[in-house]
């Protein structure tokens, strides 16, 4: 779910921060005025009714001019190419529009695609239909320290497209905002070879909305700079001499291996021609009929306006400007299909003098008789005739009339007879009524309980290939259900919505009337929206459906749409004004909808949100988090690899990413609505490389609707597999941390890496991380994770959570101990997880010299969450002497039989676990075993006392031992040596005095906690060894004292003071944290094992400052505080 969902877009402040040094960070609040995002232009584009547009290259020097071009409302295809002289786009324009653009300073270039190409594609379609009826695509070692280098390589990716090797490189240069210099990439020719041995290539600046993003470029496929071998590393030297080196990675690494999903018998290739929207809906209806248990047709709630127009004519016909004052525009009140096409208008010029203007109706004919002057010449002007028609009771029920495009209409209308027409040429089977929009819902269970996936196409009417991609995918899912287990798993466990044509009215118009139609057919021009409403403007009406949605739209001030009702990126009169857009919104609103793909053409792009920005400043919609971006990118790699398997097509790295980074701003697009409004992971395909290609490709790697539908259907199926994998994901992510040196003394860089797309929440102040802690973020545009800079020795704590909610090691966020921890030091090695060892004895007393006691040992991992299983060896000790070992079983248990013991008294038995490669060792608490002497054998009794019974860490206690020997009732003082043990480890050895007594110091102990003290008499030649009963000594937290030193002694507003903290608690472990507070700001200081730490303060204003140092203590030492005063002079 995107982190930005809780943000209210009309009130949020969005900030663009560029990571390259020296670049500007821009903040802005969206204006309430929709027009604020538009680039001012006075260009008026007019598309005349009989003109047929071509696809024409237009090159602009940069994105500022591109924004000006977009603001004209020109119809642009989905493609932006970086060329040496600027950005090249493809415009669908008529000769009149081309002339207007040239007059506005835009340079038109080569014609790439003409109406004849579309006619050829349509003829192929027709031929195919006739035939059917007859037959039935690591940073390595750092050369210049990354903290100070002014160039950084962000991507270096090798791939093949149709078998041709290509290296795509992206890098950021600190001076890229102002300097136009290209960067040279030196390639090696394989591992161990020299830079340059594989040739060089150049990369150029990518500047969007006057903001430098990065340098980018791909190796040429021919010529001296083309690849001849796969590089292992590349090097870029910036103009200032800084050097960056990167290891080359593989992009879409797939060869000729069999498709791992399909397998033998997989059915595919179900399309044979282009299909208009009526045929698309018929096709999905038939699929639902054929598979009633797996699919159903859903009629979406909003009908379109319909494939229909009011009938129109102009008198005189044509577009000559000189005729505009006398030109009359006529529009029927009824749609053409409802009788408007039967109407005619005749203007007569009588020859008699001084006749009055009259209007009459004869059936379906409106007859206008012009007024004449004294000589019999006609005198009725366009304005007069329009007023007369509109005032006539009968004629005004049939038609309305107007002067031409706001002209005063002072010219005399010529005599003429015109038949009104709606100019619609689709066959009769294409309905002229408001059109229902249909989707097919596929799934064994279709009640909303399964994760939803939404495929939709033809928001833009002229895009004929995308619907075929969705139809092919639906066919594959249903036709393979019975015979292909992997397909059956998808259909059984997902709810898949396929909407092959969002915009059926525009789709029909594109097929049968105006092949270049982009929008729907609804005309909003008129008194409110302005614009041209006459018959000559009939190819300039409609709303761009993919600019009519309600997130980050034109109405919110975002770029890439227009309020010109005759423009091809017209956003409509308001957000979600169009039924086509409302239908997409209705599907997306289903609570189970989690994934979507909006299929467009062309350009071979693969993109995701954000897809809109505001200008100036290029302020984008909220960026995905690092986790979300990683999921988008990781899923993309799988989907694009599946596409490549069909015939080797590679969607390049430069065309993969966020829409605003790879294409242009598209305010009010559906992908942003699905992502920001509903939290749906939403992608956008741009299928194919050309506009309305022939159905069959002319070459194996050429453009062809059939081949493109096959390869991109592979991608949709792979997307379903991703949705399924996500739903079944129960594997928790794992994470790693890397600490490297920084260019700042006393500080280091910290970076995280995760095993899958996941969020890392971290703290550096000793608090427990939870889901509200700071989230690890991206370093910048199209980069990996950020490089955190912290004080050396800082404890970093974190938890890792994937998109499915799985938490690393099963930690409970926010609970003490439920987190990973690391010390920010270069070369630091993470301690192994802790273990605990417990020991029990099957009896608590044994006679000296006898066997029969068994020790049972159990080892467990004590950390929070998922922990490694204990394995390895445990050893049992009596005192500090090992008496036996055993291997742990699968449950962490073992048993050891104790040997016969000769020492009489209370013997302490412990078990020590030696640890494993994954788990730290541990020692059990001691268990007392009473060993009694055999009858008639001299025995010793050992008495032990400890004083005081409680001390603080770092202090000492005293143990007192008394030994008496009993020889058949004759009790004497013991002689010899006594060992004093603390927690089973020999601590002191002392000799008994003549009275059988001794004392031994205990401690000091650096840590707090209970200590078990025992004394063991070693015995003599005739008296056996013996032990005392255990005594507990309690060690509590030590008190501490804080010292503060500020250097230099004289601090000015131009110098930075260093605060050095010293913590004293003699004999105790003082490592921990201290807070240095100056005014309202606090700084964390790490206290090392020697009790020292320091922090360099920022420059301070003049005056006397109170500096308060608070040592936070630890498990063994109490906290302490000290305040001093610091005088800062000017």
272 in the same domain as 238: no
Q: Which of 1007, 1036, 1065 is the last residue of a domain?
A: 1036
Q: How far is CA 447 from its chain centroid?
A: 29
Cβ 522 vs Cβ 543: under 8 Å: yes
| Secondary structure E strands in 479-557 | 495-499
Q: Which of 1036, 1059, 1094 is the last residue of a domain?
A: 1036
Structure tokens at 872: 């390895």
Predicted confidence at residue 27, as pLDDT, reads 30
Domain annotation covers residue 867: no
Domain annotation covers residue 634: no
Looking up residue 1046, the CATH number of its domain turns out to be 2.60.40.10
pLDDT tens per residue, range 225-283: 899 999 999 999 999 889 999 999 987 776 566 788 998 889 999 999 999 999 999 99
1077 in the same domain as 967: no
Looking up residue 189, the CATH number of its domain turns out to be 2.60.40
Q: Residues 1051, 1057, 1062, 1063: what is their CA dihedral angle, to the nearest 10 degrees?
A: 110
Predicted confidence at residue 17, as pLDDT, reads 31
Predicted confidence at residue 32, as pLDDT, reads 34
Which residues, 6+ apart, have CB-to-CB distance to 41 below 8 Å? 68, 71, 72, 104
Peptide bond into 520 cis (omega under 30): no
Q: Which of 371, 391, 419 is the last residue of a domain?
A: 419
Looking up residue 684, the CATH number of its domain turns out to be 3.40.630.10
559 in the same domain as 495: yes
CA-closest candidate to residue 898, choices 885, 912, 915, 914: 885
Predicted confidence at residue 8, as pLDDT, reads 31
Cβ 1028 vs Cβ 944: under 8 Å: yes
Catalytic, out of 186, 578, 623, 686: 686
Structure tokens at 81: 């190419």
Residue whose entry in the numeric block shows the structure tokens 């090797």: 165
Predicted confidence at residue 578, as pLDDT, reads 98
Predicted confidence at residue 159, as pLDDT, reads 85
Domain annotation covers residue 257: no
467 in the same domain as 372: no
Structure tokens at 1102: 């003049």
1024 in the same domain as 979: yes
Domain annotation covers residue 495: yes
Domain annotation covers residue 40: no
Percent of the chain topping pLDDT 70: 92
DSSP 74-89: --EEEEEEEETTEEEE
Query: In whole angstroms, what is the distance from residue 275 CA to residue 256 CA?
Result: 32
334 in the same domain as 438: no
547 in the same domain as 696: yes
Counting every residue, how long is the chain?
1130
Domain annotation covers residue 982: yes
Determine phi and psi for 617, rounding to 5 degrees. Answer: 100, -15
Cβ 913 vs Cβ 874: under 8 Å: yes
pLDDT < 50 positions in the chain: 1-40, 132-133, 135-143
pLDDT tens per residue, range 1010-1048: 999 999 999 888 888 888 989 999 999 999 999 999 999
1086 in the same domain as 978: no
Strand order in the sheet with 1072-1078: 1051-1052, 1120-1129, 1103-1111, 1072-1078, 1081-1087
Predicted confidence at residue 646, as pLDDT, reads 87
The pTM assigned to this predicted structure is: 0.67
Give kind and range of the element (H or E) at residue 705.
helix 705-727
Secondary structure (H, E, C), 357-411: CEEEEECCEEEEECCECCCCCECCEHHHHHHHHHHCCCHHHHEEEEEHHHCCCCC
3-class SS at 268? coil
Query: 937 burial class (0-12, 13-18, 19+ CB within 10 angstroms)?
Result: middle
The total of other beta-carbon atoms located within 10 Å of residue 68's CB is 18
**How many structural domains compose the chain?**
6
Structure tokens at 830: 């993470």
Predicted confidence at residue 528, as pLDDT, reads 65
395 in the same domain as 469: no
1069 in the same domain as 995: no
Predicted confidence at residue 904, as pLDDT, reads 85
Residue whose entry in the numeric block shows the structure tokens 């879409």: 252
Domain annotation covers residue 62: no
**Domain of 333?**
315-419
686 a catalytic residue: yes
CA angle, 1108 then 1109 then 1111, to 5°: 145
436 in the same domain as 402: no
Domain annotation covers residue 983: yes
567 in the same domain as 454: yes
């Amino acid at each position: 779910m995107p982190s930005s969902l809780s943000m209210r877009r009309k009130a949020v402040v969005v900030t663009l921060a560029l990571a390259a040094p020296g670049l500007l960070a821009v903040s802005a609040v969206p204006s309430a005025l929709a027009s604020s995002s538009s680039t001012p232009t006075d260009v008026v584009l007019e598309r005349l009714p009989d003109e047929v547009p071509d696809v024409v290259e237009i090159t602009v020097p940069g994105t500022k001019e591109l924004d000006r071009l977009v603001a004209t409302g020109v119809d642009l295809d989905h493609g932006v190419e970086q060329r040496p002289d600027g950005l090249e786009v493809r415009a669908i324009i008529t000769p009149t529009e081309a002339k207007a653009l040239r007059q506005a300073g835009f340079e038109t270039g080569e014609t790439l695609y003409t109406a004849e190409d579309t006619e050829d594609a349509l003829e192929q379609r027709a031929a195919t239909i006739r035939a059917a009826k007859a037959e039935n695509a690591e940073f390595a070692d750092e050369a210049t320290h990354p903290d100070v280098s002014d160039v950084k390589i962000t991507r270096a990716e090798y791939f093949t497209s149709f078998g041709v090797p290509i290296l795509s490189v992206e890098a950021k240069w600190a001076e890229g905002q102002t300097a136009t210099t290209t960067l040279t990439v030196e390639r090696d020719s394989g591992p161990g070879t020299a830079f340059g041995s594989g040739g060089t290539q150049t990369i150029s600046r990518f500047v969007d909305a006057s903001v430098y993003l990065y340098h980018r470029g791909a190796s040429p496929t021919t010529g001296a700079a083309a690849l001849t071998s796969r590089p292992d590393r590349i090097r870029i030297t910036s103009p200032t001499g800084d050097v960056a080196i990167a290891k080359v990675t593989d992009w879409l690494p797939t060869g000729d291996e069999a498709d791992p999903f399909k397998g033998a018998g997989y059915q595919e290739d179900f399309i044979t021609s282009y299909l208009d929207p009526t045929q698309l809906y018929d096709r999905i209806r038939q699929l639902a009929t054929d598979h009633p248990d797996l699919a159903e047709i859903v009629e979406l709630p909003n009908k379109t306006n319909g494939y229909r127009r009011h009938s129109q004519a102009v008198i005189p016909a044509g577009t000559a400007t000189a005729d505009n004052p006398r030109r009359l525009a006529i529009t029927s009140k009824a749609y053409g299909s409802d009788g408007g096409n039967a109407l005619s208008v005749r203007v007569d010029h009588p020859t008699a003098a001084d006749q009055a203007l009259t209007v009459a109706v004869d059936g379906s004919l409106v007859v206008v008789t012009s007024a004449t002057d004294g000589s019999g010449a006609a005198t009725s002007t366009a304005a007069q005739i329009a007023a007369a028609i509109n005032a006539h009771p009968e004629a005004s029920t049939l038609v309305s009339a107007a002067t031409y495009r706001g002209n005063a209409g002072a010219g005399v209308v010529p005599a003429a007879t015109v038949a009104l027409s709606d100019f619609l040429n689709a066959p009769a089977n294409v309905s002229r009524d408001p059109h229902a929009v249909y989707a097919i819902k596929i799934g064994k269970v279709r009640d909303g309980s399964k994760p939803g996936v939404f495929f939709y196409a033809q928001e833009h009417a002229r895009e004929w290939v995308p619907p075929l991609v969705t139809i092919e995918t639906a066919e594959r899912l249903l036709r393979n259900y019975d015979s292909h287990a992997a397909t059956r798993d998808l259909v059984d466990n997902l709810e898949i919505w396929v909407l092959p044509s969002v915009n059926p009215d525009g789709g029909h118009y594109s097929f049968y009337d105006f092949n270049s139609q982009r929008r729907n057919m609804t005309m909003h021009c008129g008194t409110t929206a302005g614009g041209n409403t006459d018959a000559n403007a009939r190819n300039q009406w409609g709303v761009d459906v993919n600019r009519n949605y309600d997130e980050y739209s034109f109405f919110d001030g975002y770029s890439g749409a227009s309020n010109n009702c005759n423009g091809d990126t017209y956003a409509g009169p308001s957000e979600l004004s169009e039924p086509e857009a409302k239908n997409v919104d209705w599907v997306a609103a289903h609570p189970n909808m989690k994934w979507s793909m909006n299929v467009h053409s062309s350009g071979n792009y693969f993109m995701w949100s954000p897809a809109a920005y505001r200008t100036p400043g290029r302020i984008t919609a909220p960026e995905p988090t690092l986790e979300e971006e990683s999921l988008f990118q990781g899923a993309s790699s799988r989907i694009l690899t599946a596409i490549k398997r069909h015939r080797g097509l590679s969607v390049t790295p430069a065309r993969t990413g966020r829409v605003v980074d790879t294409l242009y701003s598209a305010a009010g697009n559906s992908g942003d609505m699905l992502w920001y409004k509903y939290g749906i992971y939403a992608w956008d395909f741009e299928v194919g490389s050309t506009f309305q290609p022939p159905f069959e490709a002319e070459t194996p790697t050429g453009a062809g609707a059939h081949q493109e539908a096959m390869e991109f259907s592979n991608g949709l199926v792979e997307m379903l597999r991703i949705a399924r994998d996500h739903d079944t994901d129960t594997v928790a992510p794992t994470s790693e941390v890397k600490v490297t040196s920084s260019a700042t003394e006393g500080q280091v860089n910290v970076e995280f890496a995760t095993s899958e797309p996941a969020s890392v929440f971290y703290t550096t102040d000793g608090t427990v991380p939870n889901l509200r802690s700071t989230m690890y973020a991206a370093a910048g545009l199209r980069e990996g994770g950020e490089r955190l800079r912290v004080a050396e020795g800082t404890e970093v704590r974190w938890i890792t959570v994937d998109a499915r909610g799985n938490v690393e090691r099963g930690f409970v966020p926010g609970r003490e101990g439920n987190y990973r921890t690391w010390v920010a030091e270069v070369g630091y090695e993470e301690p192994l997880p802790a273990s605990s060892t417990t020991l029990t004895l099957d009896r608590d007393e044994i006679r000296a010299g006898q066997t029969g006691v068994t020790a049972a040992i159990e080892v467990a991992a004590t950390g929070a969450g998922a922990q490694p299983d204990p394995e390895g060896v445990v050893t049992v000790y009596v005192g500090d002497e090992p008496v036996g070992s055993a291997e742990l079983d699968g449950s962490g248990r073992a048993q050891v039989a104790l040997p016969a013991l000769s020492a009489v008294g209370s013997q302490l038995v412990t078990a020590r676990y030696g640890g494993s490669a994954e788990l730290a060792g541990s020692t059990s608490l001691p268990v007392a075993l009473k060993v009694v002497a055999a009858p008639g054998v001299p025995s010793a009794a050992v008495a032990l006392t400890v004083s005081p019974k409680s001390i603080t860490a770092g202090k000492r206690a005293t143990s007192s031992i008394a030994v008496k020997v009993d020889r058949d009732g004759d009790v004497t003082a013991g002689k010899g040596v006594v060992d004093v043990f603390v927690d089973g480890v020999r601590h002191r050895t002392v000799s008994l005095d003549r009275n059988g007594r001794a004392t031994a110091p205990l401690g000091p102990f650096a840590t707090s906690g209970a200590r078990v003290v025992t004394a063991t008499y070693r015995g003599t030649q005739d008296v056996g060894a013996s032990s005392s009963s255990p005594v507990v000594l309690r060690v509590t937290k030590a008190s501490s004292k804080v010292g503060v030193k500020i250097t230099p002694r004289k601090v000015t507003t131009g110098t930075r003071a260093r605060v050095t903290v010293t913590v004293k608690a003699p004999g105790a472990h003082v490592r921990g944290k201290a807070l240095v507070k100056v005014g309202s700001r606090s700084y964390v200081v790490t206290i090392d094992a020697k009790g020292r730490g320091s922090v360099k303060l920022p420059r301070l204003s003049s005056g006397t400052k109170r500096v308060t140092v608070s040592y936070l203590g630890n498990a063994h030492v109490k906290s302490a505080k000290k305040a001093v005063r610091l005088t800062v002079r000017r």
